[in-house]
Chain A
Amino acid sequence: MSTSLLVVDGVSKNFGEVDALSDVSIQLNRGEIVGLVGGNGAGKTTLLRLLCGVYRPSEGTVRFVDDGENRPVDEVRGRLGVVPESTGLYSRLTAWENIRYHTRIHGRDDEKSWARTVRFARALDIENELNRPTRGFSRGMRQKIALIRAIAHGPDLLLLDEPTAGLDVTSARKVRDLVRQLGNDGGTVIYSTHMLSEAQRICDRIIILHNGTVRADGSPGELLEKTSMDDLEDAYIALTGDVARSEPLDVESPISGFLARLFSRPNRVSKGVEEE
C-alpha cells in the first residue's frame, strides 16, 4: 500500500500580476517516480521551487508527511535532493569539493559522502573527473555532477528539473538508468521534463502542467485511456488544448519594438522562473 510523502494543496503562486501557478493540488506517494510534464512557461520550475522551499506559495500549502505528521518544507529540506534548472557548480572547485560542500551543509560525514559519491560517479561513468575543477566540464558532465550532489546525502525525495537537458544519448540514458534505480530502491522522484517520451520511459505517473494548472495526473496508460488516444503526444495536445503556437503573433515595427525595449523595465520578479 502506497503511503503519502508530499501533499500540495490548492497552491497558487503569483509574481505581481503574473500567475505562475493556479490552484495546484497533487499528492505524491513514497517510491513513486512522477513526471512533471509541460511546455515552456507551464510552471514546472515554479512548482519545483515551491516544493523545495525556495519560493513560498501565495495561497495553499505544501506539506511533507513524516510518520503520519504534516511538516512544512523548511523542516524537511534536509531530506530533499534537488537538481535545479541551472546545475550551479562552482567552477574553481573540483567536482568532489562541489559535492562535499552540499553534503557538509546536510551534516554528512565526508568519508561516507565520498563513498556514496564514488559509487554514483561510477554508475554515471564520471569517477575519474571527481578531483578535477569543474571549469571546462561539458554540459553533460556538469549535469551528472549536479545529480550526484543531489543524491550524495541520501535524500528521501529527489526533485529533478530537466536533468537530461543538453546530454548526449548515452549520458541521458545513464542518468535515466540511475534515476530508475533510485526509484527501484524505494526513492521518490519528481522528474520535470518537456519530453513526453522520456517521462513515459521512466515515470510511474505523469502530471501535465499547462499555464500554471494541472491538466492531468495519472499513469501513462490512464492518460491514454482518458483521452482515447494511442499516442502520449496526442494525449498531451488533447489535454492541454495547446493552440498557442498557431495564434498570430503581434507584429511590431522595428522602431516601436526598440523603444518599447529601451524604456521597459522588467519586473523585479518576473514570472521568472521558467524553462528555456
Chain B
Amino acid sequence: MNRLRVVWTVTVKELLDFVRDWRTLAAMLLVPLILFPIIFVAVPWFLQGEAEELGGYTVEVKILIEQDIDVPLDFIHLLNSSNIIYQILDTSFDNNQSLANHSEILEDASFSIRNGELDAVIALRSGTGNASENWEYVIFSDSTDELSRESRSRLLTQIDIWEDGIIDETLLNNALERDDVYDPVTWDGAVEAADTATSGEQAAFAFALFVPFIISLWAATSAVQPSIDLTAGERERGTLEALLTTPIARSDLMWGKWLAVATIASASVLLQLVGLYVAIRYLAADILTPPSVSIMGWSLFVITILLFAIFVVAVEMAVAMRARSVKEAGSTLGPMVILFIGPALFAQFVNMESIESWWFIAPVFNICLGMRASLLGDVSVIHASLWMGSSLLYALMATTWASKQFNREDLVESIS
C-alpha cells in the first residue's frame, strides 16, 4: 500500500478520535479562539467594571487639622463631591517633625483602619511659602486594603484639584498665566502628528512585542496533551500493540501521528490568530488600531509559526514516546515546556536594531525574532534565510529523533 495513504489513514483516524472528545476540542480550539478577545475586550471591560464598583463605595476619612485652623472650604467642597464621609479633629502637631513622623498618629490610624472604623486618615497643617495658601499634608492608609487604597487615591485626586486652584490664584495674584510658569518651552501641536510611523505601523510595533510570545507559548503548550495522548496514552491503553502487528512501518506511524498533532497545534494557533484579528478589527476597534503588516509579512509570520509547530510537535512526541506512562510523559513535558517559554519570553526584549545574526539561529529565539521581524516589516533576506533554514533544520532533527523513538522495541511492554 502506498505509504502516503497509510500515513494519511493514521492521521485521519487520530483527527477523528480527537474531534470526538469535546473537552479536548474545546481546550484546543475554542480557548485559543477566544483568548485574544478576552485579553483585549473582556479584561479591560472587567477591570473598568471593578474600578467603577470600587468608585461607588462611600469611604470614611478622618481629617486631623492643626488646632485653631479651619479646614479650607474649597477642600471640604471637593470632599463632599467625591463620596467621602469625613470627621474633623483638631490636633496638635510637633512642628519640629514632619507629619509622616508622628508615630502616635500613625498607630491610631493603623488601629482604626484595621478595625474598619476608618479607611484613611489625612493630617493637615499650614505650611510656609509664598503661594496664596501653603499647606502640608500626609495620608495614612493601608496599601493592602482595597477601600483604604481607594480612599487614598480619591484624597490625592481632590488634593490635586485643590492645589491647582491655589496655583491659579497665586499666579493670578502675580499677573501670570499657567503656561508661563509650567510650560515656557512648548511642543506646538499634537505629539502623535509628528510620529513618522503610521498608526498601523505603531500598532504592529506594539503587537510585535507580545504576540510572538503568546503564540509560541500557545504552540508549545497546545501540542503537549495530544502528543501525550497519541503516544504514551496509546501505549498505556494497550492500543499501540495491536497497531504494531499490522504492516505499518513505524516511521509511517510516527509521521501519521505527527501530522495529526501538528494539524491540531497549527489549527489551534491559527484560530488564535483569527481571534486576534476579530478582536482588533471588530471587538476593540475603537481602542486598537489594526497593525499594518504586509501580505509578505503575514505570510512569513504564518510560515514561521508552522515551522515552529513542526519542531515542537516532533520534540514533544518523541519525549512522550520515551515515557512509560501518561503520568511520566506529563511530568516530563510539563516542566520541559519552560525550555520553549523561557527563550520566547527573553526574545521579546532582544533589541532588533543592529541585531547579531546568530540570534536568528538560536532555537526558539529564531522563531520569536522571525515573527517580530515579520510583524515589523523589518525582514532581511539573510535573517529570513537563517531563521527559516535553522527552523527547518531543527524540525528535521526533531522528527528524526522522534522517528527513532518510534522504532524502539520496548514500545510494547508490560505496563504493570
Are B414 and A146 in contact, with the CB atoms below 8 A? Answer: no
**Among B210-218, B237-245, B283-291, B303-311, the stretch in contact with A:** B237-245
Decide if the interface of chain A is mainly helix, strand, loop or mixed.
Answer: loop
Complex Cα distance A52/B243, Å?
11
B357 at the interface (CB under 8 A from A): no
Contact of A272 among B20, B237, B245, B413 (CB under 8 A): B413
For A, the interface residue count at a CB cutoff of 8 angstroms equals 38
Near B by CB (< 8 A), chain A positions 84-140 give: 84-93, 97, 101-102, 104-107, 133
Flag if A87 contacts B238 (CB, 8 Å).
yes
Q: Per-residue 0/1 for B1-35: is the Cβ within 8 Å of any A Cβ (1 yes, 0 no)?
A: 10001100110010011001100000000000000
Closest-CB distance, B26 to chain A (whole angstroms): 15
CB < 8 Å neighbour of A92 from B1, B10, B20, B243: B20
Residue of B nearest to A82 (CB): B245
Contact residues in A for B21 (Cβ distance below 8 Å): 92
Please tell me if the beta carbons of B409 and A56 are within 8 angstroms of each other in the complex: yes
Are B414's CB and A273's CB within 8 A? yes
Q: Which residues of B contact A229 (CB under 8 A)?
A: none
User: Which chain B residues border A89 with CB–CB below 8 Å?
Assistant: 239
Instruction: State whether B13 touches A101 (Cβ < 8 A).
Output: yes
B241 touches A105 (CB 8 A): no
The residues of A that contact B9 with a CB separation of less than 8 Å are: 101, 104-105
B247 within 8 A of A: yes
B106 at interface, CB cutoff 8 A: no
Distance in angstroms between the alpha carbons of A206 and B222 in the assembled complex: 51
- By a CB distance below 8 angstroms, the chain B residues around A85 are 238, 241
B414 contacts A105, C-beta separation under 8 Å: no
A93 in contact with B240 given A53-B245, A82-B245 (CB within 8 Å)? no
Q: Which residue of chain A lies nearest to B18 when distances are taken between CB atoms in the complex?
A: A92
Residues on B with C-beta less than 8 A from A271 are 414
Q: Does B94 contact A (CB under 8 A)?
A: no
Docked pose: A40 CA to B238 CA in angstroms: 19
- A96 to chain B: closest CB distance in Å? 12
A268 touches B (CB below 8 Å): yes
Residue of A nearest to B410 (CB): A269
- CB atoms of B410 and A268 under 8 A apart: yes
A49 within 8 A of B: yes
Instruction: Tell me whether A106 and B241 are in contact in the complex, defined as CB-CB below 8 angstroms, given that A93-B20, A269-B409, A272-B413 are known contacts.
Output: no
Contact B239 A93 (CB under 8 A): no
Listed residue (A49, A85, A104, A274) with the most chain B CB atoms within 10 angstroms of its CB: A104
Contact (A107, B1) CB under 8 Å given A97-B16, A270-B413: yes
The reply on A77 being an interface residue by CB < 8 A is yes
Question: Once the chains bind, are B6 and A105 in contact (CB under 8 Å)?
Answer: yes
A258 interface residue, CB < 8 Å from B? no
Complex-state Cα separation, A159 to B238, whole angstroms: 17
The yes or no answer to A149 lying at the interface (CB within 8 A) is yes
- The answer on a CB contact under 8 Å between A88 and B413 is no
**A56-B409, A105-B247, A105-B248 are known contacts. Are A84 and B20 too (CB-CB below 8 A)?**
no
**Are A54 and B413 also in contact (CB < 8 A) when A92-B17, A102-B246, A105-B6 are?**
no
Among candidates B5, B13, B17, B239, residue contacting A88 with C-beta atoms closer than 8 Å: B239
- In the complex, whether B412 has a CB less than 8 A from a CB of chain A is yes
Identity of the chain B residue whose Cβ is nearest the Cβ of A146 in the assembled complex: B242
Shortest 6 CB-CB contacts between residues of A and residues of B:
A86-B238, A88-B242, A107-B1, A78-B247, A82-B245, A92-B20
Known pairs A84-B242, A272-B413; list 14 more (Cβ under 8 Å). A49-B241, A55-B412, A80-B245, A86-B242, A88-B242, A93-B13, A93-B17, A101-B13, A105-B246, A107-B1, A146-B242, A149-B242, A268-B324, A269-B413
Q: Can you spell out 13 A-B residue pairs with CB atoms less than 8 angstroms apart? A: A49-B412, A54-B244, A54-B412, A84-B245, A85-B241, A86-B241, A86-B242, A106-B246, A268-B324, A269-B409, A269-B413, A272-B410, A272-B414
